[in-house]
Structure 1
Amino acid sequence: MSVEPGWHVDPAEPTTRRWWDGEGWIGAPIPVHTTPPDGPPPPEPEPVGEPPAPAAGSPTAAGQPSAPPWTPNAPGQPGASGAPPDGPKAPGTPGMPWTGQPGAGQPGAGQPGLGQPVHPGAGQPEGHGVGQPGGPPPGWPYPTWPGRPPEPRPHGVPLAGYGARLLARLIDFGVVLLLNAVVNGWFVWRYFEETAPYLREAVRRAMAGDSSREGLPAIGEQAGGLQIAILVIATALWFAYEVPTMASGGQTLGKRLLRIRAVPLDADQPLGFGRATRRWSTMGMPTLLWFCCGLGLLLQFVDAVSALFDHPLRQALHDKRAQTVVVQVPRADDPDTPTDRADPEPQGDTP
C-alpha cells in the first residue's frame, strides 16, 4: 500500500518531518514539533552532478516505492556532511579528522560545500584559509598538532641539548683563560701593581668601618691604558681561538669533546670565515665593555641564556645573527644517521 503524499515523520531521523510525494522524500526537513505548512515545500536547486543510476533489480528500478532516498548536504538528516548515513564519511566531516584531501565526487576538506561561499580564514595565508583549497571547510577550526610537535632535525640530525652546549662553552672559556694567563699575564701583573696601593688602603678602611675617601693613594697613571690593553688582548685571543676552527668545521675544542657542532640553517656545510665572525662577535665583542660597570658581562650573559627561551631551534642571539643552529654529531653506528646527505630532511618527522 502506497503512502499518501504529505508531511510525515522521517524514519531515518524521527526528530524531523519531511514531505513525501508518494515516491520519495523531497525538500528540506523541519522539526517534528513544528506545524508543517500547507502543501509541499518549494523546489530546491538542482544538486551538482548526476545521481548514480539505480542498480538492476532494485525496488526503484522496478518502479516500486523504496526507502526515503539520501539527499547529500540536506541539513538535519544523517549524511548531511556529504556522505551516505551508513557509508564512510568524507574527510572534513564531524567525527573524522581533517586530512585536506577531498573525497571522490564529494566536497572534501579544503573545498566549499554546496551553496557555501568561499572566503579566506582569519589570519591564514591566501590559499590556506578556511574555505580555501588546501584549508579546512567553512566553520571548521584550522588544524593543529594534536599534542607536542616533533623536535626539528636540521639536515637530518637532532639538535644539541642545552647541557652539552653549556659544558662545551665552559671548556672553551677555560682554554681562553689559559691563553690569557700566558699572553696577558704580564699586563695583568702591571695593572695590579698600579692599583694595589689604592686597593690596600680602601680595604683597610672598609674593615675598620671608615667610609671616608679622603687621603686614598692615587691609582697609577698607566692603569687605564693597561686595562684597555688587557681587554683588547683577551678579545683577540678569543677571536683567534674560536673563529678559525668554527669557520672550517663548526667545532671548537669544547664542541668537539661534547660531539656537537654549528651548521648553517640553509645547508649542511662549513660556516665560512664571514659567518663564523658574525656568530662570534655577538658574544665576543662585548668583552671590550667589561670596564663599563660590567655592561659587557651582562650582554654576554643575556646572549648565553637566550637559547633557553628560543623554540623550536634553540638558537642563541649569536645563532640568530649568523643564521646557524647547533646540532649533535651523529655516530657512525647511529641508526638515525642519514645515509643520503643529498637529501638531509628526515622522512616523516616534520609536517
Structure 2
Amino acid sequence: MTEQPHAPVSSGWYDDPRDATQLRYWDGILWTERTMPKLRPGLDHVGEARPVQHVDARPRRDGEPRTYPAHWGPEGSGEQQHRFGVPQPRAHDQRPTAFGTSAGEPSGVWRRFFAYFLDRIIFGVPVTLAMLPFLHSWIDEFRDFIDEASTAASNGGQMPAFPDDLTSPPLALALALFVAGFVYDTLMTSLRGATLGKSALGIRVAPIEEGDPRSPQKLPMARSAVRALIKYVPDLMSLVAVLAGIAGLLQIAILLWALSNRLRQGLDDLAARSVVRRTR
C-alpha cells in the first residue's frame, strides 16, 4: 500500500498527487478538479520570432466576411484564459464550496441529525420489541400506580410513594438501547464506513487523515468504538437519576458542536479524529 502524501497546510497550486506532469489546486481542505501543466504550452518557444499574420485587407463584396488570423477570437473562446499564470475555470466548471454541498466535503448538521434519527429507529425498535415480554408486568404496575395517584389527588388524599421496583425495567431498557447502539455504530462504521442511516442520507465517516476523498478509507475499529461511546453516552447517563435530566441536552450538544468548526466535527468526531463526509 502506497503511503498517502501529506496534505498541504495552505491553499494554492501543488504537485498533483496523481500526475507528476501537472499541478493541482488545494483549497485548504480538499484537492479540487482544477489542474494545469507544470510548463505552460508555448513557454519553450519564448524569445523565438513568430511570423506576423496580417488581416486580409483586400476589398470585400457586400456580405462577404472579413478573415482574421487563426489565433484571433473573442475573449474567453477556445482554451481557458490564463490570468497571472493561473487557469481560470469556466462557469460550468465551478463547483460549490460551501460545506455539505458536494461529494467528498464535510456533511452539514441536518443530514447527520436525520441519519442519527433513522439509526435510532433501526436498532431501537427491535430492542424495544424484544424487551416487551419483560415489560408487561411493569406496565400493569405502573398503570395501577397512576390510578392510585389520580384517585388520591382527586380526593385530596396523600400521594402514594413511587415503588422502587418500577425503576428497574426502564433502566434495563435504557442499558439495552445503549449496548445496541454502541455495538451497531462501532461495527457499521469500522466495517462499512457508515451506518444504515448515514448510507440512506449519503454520508460516511472517514479518518481525519484521509488524503483523497475519492479513495475512501474506513475508520479503525478502536476509533469507531471511541466515537460510538461518546455518541451514545447520554443513554448511559440516563441510567443515573441525577444525570438523566441533562442527558438529552448533552446529546444535542454533541451534534451541534459541528457548527463551531470548519470540518463540521462533532464531539464524537473530535474524540475519534474523524470527519463525516458526503458521498453524493
Q: CA deviation at 1:204?
A: 4.3
Are the equivalent residues in 1 in contact too, given 2:123–2:181 (CA < 8 A)? yes
Which structure is larger by alpha-carbon Rg, 1 or 2?
A: 1
Query: Any idea what SS the aligned residue of 1:294 has?
Result: helix
Deviation digits for residues 19-78 of structure 1, max 9, x if unmatched?
xxxxxxxxxxxxxxxxxxxxxxxxxxxxxxxxxxxxxxxxxxxxxxxxxxxxxxxxxxxx
Aligned partners of 1:262, 1:287: CA distance in 2, in Å? 22
What corresponds to 1:138 in structure 2? Answer: none
Q: CA deviation at 1:163?
A: 2.1
Which of 221, 227, 230 aligns to 1:273? It is 221
Q: Report the CA distance shift for 1:229/1:169 in structure 2 as closer, same or farther (over 3 A).
A: same
Aligned partners of 1:244, 1:298: CA distance in 2, in Å? 26
Are the equivalent residues in 1 in contact too, given 2:128–2:173 (CA < 8 A)? no
What corresponds to 2:270 in structure 1? Answer: 320
In structure 2, give the amino acid aligned to 1:329: T
Alignment of 1:299 onto 2:247: no
Which of 180, 183, 191 aligns to 1:240? It is 183
Q: Tell me the TM-score normalized by structure 1.
A: 0.45
* Structure 2: tracts of 5 or more residues without a match: 1-83, 85-96, 211-215
Are the equivalent residues in 2 in contact too, given 1:245–1:251 (CA < 8 A)? yes
Query: Any idea what SS the aligned residue of 1:200 has?
Result: helix
Q: CA deviation at 1:188?
A: 3.3
Are the equivalent residues in 2 in contact too, given 1:184–1:234 (CA < 8 A)? no
RMSD: 2.6
Q: Report the CA distance shift for 1:274/1:209 in structure 2 as closer, same or farther (over 3 A).
A: farther
- Count of residues in correspondence between the two structures: 175
Alignment of 1:216 onto 2:160: yes
Are the equivalent residues in 2 in contact too, given 1:188–1:230 (CA < 8 A)? no
Alignment of 1:258 onto 2:201: yes
Query: Any idea what SS the aligned residue of 1:158 has?
Result: coil
Aligned partners of 1:287, 1:232: CA distance in 2, in Å? 7
Aligned partners of 1:326, 1:203: CA distance in 2, in Å? 49
In structure 1, give the amino acid aligned to 2:198: K
